[in-house]
Amino acid sequence: MSHAVLTADGFLTFGSDRYPACFGRGGIRREKEEGDGATPVGFLPLRRVLYRADRLAAPRTALPLEPIGPRDGWCDDSRDPAYNRMVRLPYGGRHEELWRQDAVYDVIGILGWNDSPVVPDRGSAIFLHLTTPDRAPTAGCIALGLDHLRDVLAKGLTGIEVHG
């Protein structure tokens, strides 16, 4: 089995293992829109993994893996040609920084949402990343604890089926 299942009860199931997971503060929705804080329903393939090499060793994964740096960002401006794509900072369009002060983006799984093709306002930056210390809901991403995220990546996770 290479994909996991995320359900509204807050667990990600991968094979026979269940991991506590956080999802969007807007819930899990079939109709995802930019800025709604929701995690989209559907199959989200895991495209590649990014990580902070200055903080962690590279996670074990069969997916493409690359370190991030202080100039890495992600465009969330639906009017910008780079919408829902990685960008180099400084960047003129609205974006978020991937090199954060907190640990949330120390490991980032880029999930395949609204990326082939990109549709304006359908949502951007849907990632698999680390939870906050208080396990707060995300802005639409899926979050796991560091040990759990390392575990699913090492076991061959290639996507997440999100059920609402």
Task: List residues with catalytic annotation.
Answer: 129, 141
Residue with tokens 């990580």: 51
In one-letter notation, the amino acid at residue 84 is: N
Nearest CA among 34, 48, 35, 23 for reference residue 118: 34
* Count of CA atoms in the C-beta half-sphere (13 A) of 31: 0
* Count of CA atoms in the C-beta half-sphere (13 A) of 69: 5
SS3 of 19-61: the string is EECECECCCEECCCCCCCCCEECEEEEEEEEEECCCCCCCCCC
